[in-house]
Structure 1
Amino acid sequence: MTISRFLGKAVLYLAAFSAVFPMVWTAINAFKNRVDIVTPTPLFIFTPTLDNFAYVLGRESVAAGLVNSLLSAGGSVLIGALLGLPAAYAIARYPNRWSADIQFFVLSLRFLPPVAVAIPLMVIWLDLGFYDTRLSLIVTYTLLTLATVIWLGVPAFARVPKEVEEAARVDGYGPYAVFLLIALPIASRSLIGAVAFAFVLVWNEFLIALMLTTSDAKTLPIVASELTQLGRDVPWGILNASVVLLSIPPLLLIGILSGLLNNAFRRKSN
């Protein structure tokens, strides 16, 4: 093994360790008592406890926040996918002089800082009487998911071979059938990643949810932040447990989508 190759692998392993270790350490601390967390010497051998998870799951606000997060994030991703995937396909397959401007506008929605969007939207929802509702969150999050799905979907559809679509048209497929039965399955690997990425973005979104909710529609990240107590007695175990629970739904979604995609490709290959 050459030195350059060894250094390259070492850098990759170091980067992987830097990314994974904080998550592993958070999961470990979720099973510790507070005295085991704040000790000057990190403890790798300790008596695990489920009190932190029991405290988090026993709060009614956590259950309400979980429902609000699932409905707002799931609804916005569903609407974003239903509207964004056809839009991305149209931009990729039927370009015109406005296509570049549309893509730049979609990308510019992600450039804006959340506070620049949250304050005007807060005023709008207050005037319409929909402040602190799931509807306001779903509509607002749809702006984020729609931009993400379109921006990531355009290159995915652009990589679909045009010859395959032309052959389908020769066989009598209409434009909608070509999109649903040909282009969508071929680009599904990249599109599933785009949808999962959009879900993670809105699931973890904090500032917009903080500005647009007060009590009824609070999402899980807002509820988790409220578990922090002021002063020196910070409940580190409870906070780590809330982070672990907050990370489970996106991981489950990615796992389910990956499993469905692998099964679909296995059936197709057989």
Structure 2
Amino acid sequence: MKLDRILGNLVLAIFGFIALFPLVWTALNAFKKNVDIISKVPKFFFTPTLENVTYVLGRHSVMAGLTNSIIACGTSVLVGVVLGLPLAYAIARYPNKWSADIQFFVLSIRFLPPVAVAIPLMVIWLQIGLYDSLVALIVTYSLITISVTVWLSIPAFQRVPKEVEEAGFVDGYGAYAVFWKVALPVALRSLVGAIAFSFVLIWNEFLMALMLSSTNAKTLPIVASELSQQGMNVPWGILNASVVLLSLPPLLFLGVLSGFLSSAFTRRT
């Protein structure tokens, strides 16, 4: 048994190293000079530089893209929570003959290739004069966050014991109070995962943002991709620094959510 445990830990360590090494290497390259990155022998020890980071942060387009991404993603996730969670609870607790069709429709939105959705949406936003605006991105992203939130939240609400909700009704709660004060707190841990997944999904969205923006509403993934279009000499240090910047907000968001979840359960216990 001891040998099996050692082998199991070794396999996990190998897979963990394979998963984490590209991330660590990208972070290291963000602080290297280009000559250290393209050297034939990989350099683990080097003189760090902040030129790549300061170049990325010093560009107005990067800060504008970061602002657009935060506003569009944050607002659309909020819309997905406000509209998606009550819908998921209604489907889970009050099923009817349309419930299966609604779930299939919500899931089918994710079946479509993004280009099949982006082109019609681009035509719609052009016709109503909202192309290349944050409003267009927020509404489009909200379609994704609502569908993902509903899809992942229905099983979470179905796992809430009915006896707990019935106890709420006995205490005099109405249907809305049971949803807010009983079902949501009990299913909170699973719901946080659904919210985090929807945020990461739209934060990394590239094709939709590319098709629906040209100048004013560019998100950070679009701006980061443009940094590679600088001639034959690829600025690898700048690209790695932009990847690090692109990865930080989702990590911070997940950290805040996990901290909130931990504090909530600590107060409850």
- TM-score bracket, normalised by the shorter chain, equals over 0.9
Task: Indicate the residue corresponding to 1:44 in structure 2.
Answer: 44
Partner SS, residue 110 of structure 2: helix
Bigger shift: residues 6-15 or 139-148: 6-15
Normalising by structure 2, we get a TM-score of 0.97
Deviations 1:211-267 (A, max 9, x none): 000000000110111111354300000000001011111111111111111111111
Task: Indicate the residue corresponding to 1:172 in structure 2.
Answer: 172
CA distance in 2, matches of 1:246, 1:91: 36
Deviations 1:98-130 (A, max 9, x none): 212211111111111111110010001001110
CA distance in 2, matches of 1:149, 1:38: 43
Bigger shift: residues 5-14 or 171-180: 5-14
Task: Indicate the residue corresponding to 1:24 in structure 2.
Answer: 24
- 8 Å CA contact 1:30–1:237 kept in 2: the answer is yes
CA distance in 1, matches of 2:15, 2:138: 36
- 8 Å CA contact 1:157–1:183 kept in 2: the answer is yes
- 8 Å CA contact 1:106–1:150 kept in 2: the answer is yes
CA distance in 2, matches of 1:19, 1:105: 34
CA distance in 2, matches of 1:50, 1:166: 59
Aligned 1:139-178 pairs, distance under 5 A: 139-178=139-178
Post-superposition shift, 1:13?
2.4
CA distance in 2, matches of 1:152, 1:44: 42
- 8 Å CA contact 1:76–1:139 kept in 2: the answer is yes
Deviations 1:181-239 (A, max 9, x none): 00001111111111111011111100100000000000011011111135430000000
Task: Kindly indicate whether residue 132 of structure 2 is the aligned counterpart of residue 132 of structure 1.
Answer: yes
- Runs (5+) with no aligned partner, structure 2: none
Task: Indicate the residue corresponding to 1:197 in structure 2.
Answer: 197
CA distance in 2, matches of 1:183, 1:229: 50
Task: Indicate the residue corresponding to 1:71 in structure 2.
Answer: 71
CA distance in 1, matches of 2:29, 2:90: 48
CA distance in 1, matches of 2:61, 2:74: 19
- Runs (5+) with no aligned partner, structure 1: none
AA paired with 2:255? G
CA distance in 2, matches of 1:56, 1:186: 43
AA paired with 1:140? T
Deviations 1:47-78 (A, max 9, x none): 00000000000000111111110111011100
Q: Percent of counterpart pairs with the same letter?
A: 68
Bigger shift: residues 9-18 or 204-213: 9-18
